Structure formats: C-alpha cells, structure tokens
Amino acid sequence: MDSRSRLAFMLLLIANTLVFVYSDNDENEYTPGPVTYNAKSVIVGGNPILIFSGSIHYPRSTPEMWPDIIRMAKEGGLNTIATYVFWNAHEPVEGQYNFTGNNDLVKFIKLIAEHKMYVVLRLGPFIQAEWNLGGLPFWLRDIPNIVFRSYNEPYMKHMKRYIEYMVNMMKAEKLFAPQGGPIIMAQVENEYNHVQESYKEKGTQYVKWAADMATSLYAGVPWIMCKQKDAPQNVISTCNGRHCADTFMGPNSPDKPSLWTENWTAQYRVFGDPPSQRAAEDIAFSVTRFFMNNGSMTNYYMVRIEVT
C-alpha cells in the first residue's frame, strides 16, 4: 500500500470512528427537547450533537420499504435523516392535498422517530433539479402576475400558505423536537444565492421575507438556508458541495454553527455526462477535514440503500 492509499485508509477509519462515537445506536443518544445552537454545535435537549445525516426522499420509495431503509441508515452510523418536502406531490391541484401512500410524510417522520433518529425537514418549497418543476405545483404557473421566487405578492401568498400548512401539520402531530418529536431543523428556500442577483432588490427583499415568514410560523427549531452567503440573522446559512471544508466560508455570524446540508456523494447527470460517483476515500477525507474545521453536521446526499 503506497503512502497515498495509507492516508486515504486512515482518513476513512477516522471518519467512520467519528460516526460510531457520536452517532451510537444507544437510544440514550436520542434526546428530543429544546433546540438551540452556538458556533460549535446544534444543541438538542441540552446535549451538543454532531449530526451525521443522510438524505432519504420518502416519495421515491413505498411505505413498506421505509422501515428497512431507516433501520439500515441507522445501522450505517447515521443519527439523522434529511428530506425535502414535495409541494407538487402534496398539492397537485390547488387546495387539494395528498398525504397518502408514498406521500405520507407524517408516517415517514414517525417511523424515523421510532428508530430514535432526528429529522432535518427541508420545506423549500423550491427544491432545484431533484423533482419536476423544482417541486413547485404546475397550477402555480397559472396564477395571474406571478413571478416565482421573488418579492412578488402572488408568489409569496401561495408560498406562505404552503409553508404554514406544513408547519401546522408538524406542530399538530407534535413532530418538532421541543414537542418530543424528531425534527431538529427546518429549511426555507434552497440554493437561492446564485439566482438572487437576477432579481436585484426584489431578491434581497424576498430572502429576508422568507426568513422572517418561516421563523414567525415556528421558532422552536433553527431554520436554515443552504448556499445563502449573506443569510438573514434569524436563519443559518449552510454549505452544499463536495469539499465544504475548502469551499465554505462559514456562516455569516460568529454564533452560528457550520453545517453541511448536501455532501454530494455523486452528481446528477444530464445527457452525455460521464459518471460522477465519488470514491469513499474522497468522501471520508472531506468529512474529516470539515469536522476538523469546526463543522458540526454532514448530510450525505443521497443515501443509497438497497432493500432486498
């Protein structure tokens, strides 16, 4: 084994050791309660935690598969599961909601809680390339004078109604950690920074509005915005990427933790793209460096689990 291979092996061993030390399967590690944070950590139920998370999207599998998927995620060393919430799956027709079958979000979250794991709920509502129309419902296009993801009254009206509906559902089911549930963080908007300038002043106004709207609906858990360099003070900016120890400048306030919401294990491909699967050694190296640089969360995007 050459020196480079030995280094990769050692880093992989360190990363795996961190996972099993800080994400032990002992149920005592799961302590829902008030959620706060500081520069070093997210604090749940009075306990600072390192978050080892993996993204699992409930509509991409069936409820019958969920228990095995969640169990194997935990056995793999994770203590948290992150998921987008898919607006156009839940409200395919304006005012008509669907939370049955693969869309039973409450059941999915309760199963995660049964396995003594936490949840990061990424409400969006825009969720990028991972879903048709970025998760926005098709009927939204027919709203008069609407401009998506801007300080635009028609868009903000419907976005707030959707976010409020989802937050109220989580509260009614007592799924937020301060209520004894597993949800320790929620996300509003998604990778907005790279399009914000095209909206000029309305982009800046929209980001602040989105942050204020979300935190006013529920302030019991931290709200995050991924890839938002100058996030409003009441939300936490986070990193998406492959090597966030090197590319992330850190949160824009000294009292916010350093969080990695998408640790890309691969990259989605368009026609003609070569494969982009990352080596385990590269992922281990990146995770280790991130935690060495004051990181307190990594979320593998996505988790691949084969259910037989």
Q: Which residues are part of the catalytic machinery? A: 191, 262
- Smallest CA-to-CA distance from 66 within 27, 97, 106 is with 106
Q: How would you write 255-302 as a 3-class SS string?
A: CCCEEEEEEECCCCCCCCCCCCCCCHHHHHHHHHHHHHCCEEEEEEEC
- Rounded distance between C-alpha atoms, residue 251 and residue 258, angstroms: 6
The residues, any chain, with a CB within 8 Å of residue 65's CB and separated by 6 or more, are 307
Decide if 79 contacts 47 (C-beta within 8 A).
no
Asked if residues 243 and 295 have their Cβ atoms less than 8 Å apart, the reply is: no
